Amino acid sequence: MEIFAQQIFNGLTVGSVYSLVALGLTLVYGILHIPNFAHGALYMMGGYITLTMMTKFGLYYWIAIMISMVIVGLMGVLMERFIFYPLRDAPPIQDKIAAIGILLFLEAFAQFVWGADYQTMPTPYGQVVSVMGLTFTMQRLLIIISTVVVMILLFLFLKKTFIGSAIIAMSQNREGAHLVGINTNKMAMLTFMISGALAAIAASLSSPINLVFPGMGHLVILKAFVIIIIGGMGSIPGAIIGGYILGFAESLGATYISNDYKDIFAFILLVLILTFKPTGLFAKGGHS
């Protein structure tokens, strides 16, 4: 029972990170209908920038995360402006390949600047806490709490502010939003900014338990794709629920089935889902 509870807790931690990454991905997909293959590279950059801010400039953890969010957000904006915007009318195969180009570049760039070694990120929340027979580090608890806070803030932003509603309107119908006077270009840039910031915070939160290295985004982005397919491409609640489902499936699978193959569960889940529902679960209607 104790192991089970511990694994549920681990699943919650892992799921939180996945949800944050998937949220960024699903927001962009909702607006531009492109799967951003370079999102994992943004995640990786987020981890490295936070690490550099902490070790090179000696900044406090949270300030480093803030800076990282801004920088990665701006990288997202640049990507939208220089790559996805010019390709908006191109055949769908092209923006995928363009994103792959960015991914390759950013990974080589990270390796060039920071080296290929695995690096650990220091955290001010290293203490071990034990509650009701469960032991966990503060960092893990922090991941869960911060994720919930970020999700609530994002929800309030999207539902309660004018700009947020504009983004939602745009994801429902781009032309319609344009017609009622929403500046779709600005909104697309803003969405990329939020998406990059979400990737940065996810990476910064998970790095102290996972390590920072150039290929750290590979698996995460693949799983994030799995999540947004499970949750419906472009659906925000879907990304959150999907993230936690995958988190639980993985941590329980690793304990009770096989630790070696724990990364494979997500993909088998996806292969099964797409086998029976080629457009994914909870696919939103009205999009083509």
Chain contacts with another protein (rule: CB under 8 A): 34-35, 83, 86-87, 90-94, 96-98, 100-109, 111-112, 116, 218, 222, 225-226, 229, 233, 260-261, 263-264, 266-268, 270-271, 274-275, 278-280
Least distance (Å) from another protein to the CB of residue 135? 29
In terms of CB distance, is 75 or 201 closer to another protein?
Answer: 75
Residue type (1 letter), 32 = L
In terms of CB distance, is 202 or 226 closer to another protein?
Answer: 226
> CA–CA separation, 65 vs 34, rounded Å?
27
Tokens at 15, concatenated = 């799921």
Least distance (Å) from another protein to the CB of residue 85? 10
Least distance (Å) from another protein to the CB of residue 184? 20
In terms of CB distance, is 82 or 256 closer to another protein?
Answer: 82
Cβ-in-10-Å burial (0-12, 13-18, 19+) of 131 comes to exposed
In terms of CB distance, is 74 or 274 closer to another protein?
Answer: 274
In terms of CB distance, is 107 or 250 closer to another protein?
Answer: 107
In terms of CB distance, is 96 or 178 closer to another protein?
Answer: 96
Three-state secondary-structure class, residue 268: helix
Q: How far, CA to CA in Å, does 204 sit from each of 65, 117, 147, 215?
A: 6, 17, 12, 15
In terms of CB distance, is 199 or 233 closer to another protein?
Answer: 233
In the chain, alpha helices (H): 2-32, 39-55, 61-79, 92-114, 138-160, 162-172, 174-179, 184-210, 217-230, 236-256, 262-276
In terms of CB distance, is 47 or 280 closer to another protein?
Answer: 280
Could you count the other beta carbons within 10 Å of the beta carbon of residue 60? 11
Least distance (Å) from another protein to the CB of residue 224? 10
Least distance (Å) from another protein to the CB of residue 69? 24
Burial profile 87-105: b = 16 or more Cβ within 10 angstroms, e = fewer: beeeeeeebeebbeebbee
Q: Rg (Cα) of the chain, in Å, rounded?
A: 19
Least distance (Å) from another protein to the CB of residue 124? 33
> Which has the closest alpha carbon to 44: 211, 215, 192, 209?
215
Least distance (Å) from another protein to the CB of residue 260? 5
Least distance (Å) from another protein to the CB of residue 60? 32
> Which has the closest alpha carbon to 99: 33, 5, 165?
33
Q: Name, in order, each residue with C-beta under 8 angstroms of 272's C-beta and a sequence gap of 6 or more.
A: none
Residue type (1 letter), 271 = V
